[in-house]
Amino acid sequence: MAFSIKKLSKSDTDFTTELEKMLAWESVSDGNMQKLVADVIADIRLNGDKALLKYSEKFDRFSVSSGNELVLGAEAIKAAFNRLPEEQQAALRVSAQRVTAYHEKQLAKSWRYTDETGVVLGQQVTAMDKVGIYVPGGVAPLASSVIMNAMPAKVAGVQEVVMATPAPDGKVSDFTLGAAYVVGIDKVFLIGGAQAIAALAFGTETVPAVDKIVGPGNAFVATAKQQVFGKVGIDMIAGPSEILVVCDGQTHPDWIAMDLFSQAEHSHDAQSILISQDAQFLDQVLASIEKLLPTMERKETIEQSLNDRGLLIHVDQLEEAKELINIIAPEHLELSIEDPESWLQDIRHAGAIFMGRHTSEPLGDYCAGPNHVLPTSGTARFFSPLGVYDFQKRSSIIGASALAASELGKVVSVLARGEELTAHARSAEMRIIKP
**Would strands 187-189 and 71-72 be described as parallel, antiparallel, or unpaired?**
antiparallel
Residue 227 annotated in ligand binding: no
Residue 31 has a pLDDT of: 85
**271 with 260: CB under 8 angstroms?**
no
Other CB atoms within 10 Å distance of the CB of residue 430: 9
Terminal Cα-to-Cα distance of the chain (whole angstroms): 88
**432 with 406: CB under 8 angstroms?**
yes
Domain ranges of the chain: 6-22+239-382, 48-106+126-234, 400-435
pTM equals 0.92
Order of all β-strands in the sheet with 332-336: 6-9, 311-314, 271-276, 242-247, 332-336, 352-355
**152 with 426: CB under 8 angstroms?**
no
Residue 269 annotated in ligand binding: no
Residue 424 annotated in ligand binding: yes
Residue 195 annotated in ligand binding: yes
Give, for all 435 residues of the chain, the pLDDT tens digit. Answer: 567 899 999 999 999 999 999 999 765 567 899 999 999 999 999 999 999 999 999 998 999 999 999 999 999 999 999 999 999 999 999 999 999 999 999 999 999 999 999 999 999 999 999 999 999 886 667 899 999 999 999 999 999 999 999 999 999 999 999 999 999 998 999 999 999 999 999 999 999 999 999 998 888 999 999 999 999 999 988 888 999 999 999 999 999 999 999 999 998 999 999 999 999 999 999 999 999 999 999 999 999 999 999 999 999 999 999 999 999 999 999 999 999 999 999 999 999 999 999 999 999 999 999 999 999 999 999 999 999 999 999 999 999 999 999 999 999 999 999 999 999 999 999 999 998
Residue 139 has a pLDDT of: 63
Backbone angles phi, psi at 369, to 5 degrees: 140, -50
**242 with 372: CB under 8 angstroms?**
no
Residue 419 annotated in ligand binding: yes
User: pLDDT tens digits, residue range 2-34?
Assistant: 678 999 999 999 999 999 999 997 655 678 999
The CATH class of the 6-22+239-382 domain is alpha beta
Residue 47 annotated in ligand binding: no
CA–CA gap between residue 119 and residue 313 (Å, rounded): 57
Residue 268 annotated in ligand binding: no
Residue 3 has a pLDDT of: 74
Residue 97 annotated in ligand binding: no
Residue 87 annotated in ligand binding: no
CA–CA gap between residue 102 and residue 127 (Å, rounded): 18
Catalytic residue among 103, 303, 314, 332: 332
126-to-274, 317, 389, 396 alpha-carbon distances in Å: 42, 49, 10, 11
Residue 149 annotated in ligand binding: no
Catalytic residue among 303, 331, 334, 361: 331
Active site residue 319: no
Active site residue 331: yes
CA–CA gap between residue 404 and residue 116 (Å, rounded): 9
Topology of 48-106+126-234 in CATH?
A: Rossmann fold (3.40.50)
CA–CA gap between residue 188 and residue 72 (Å, rounded): 5
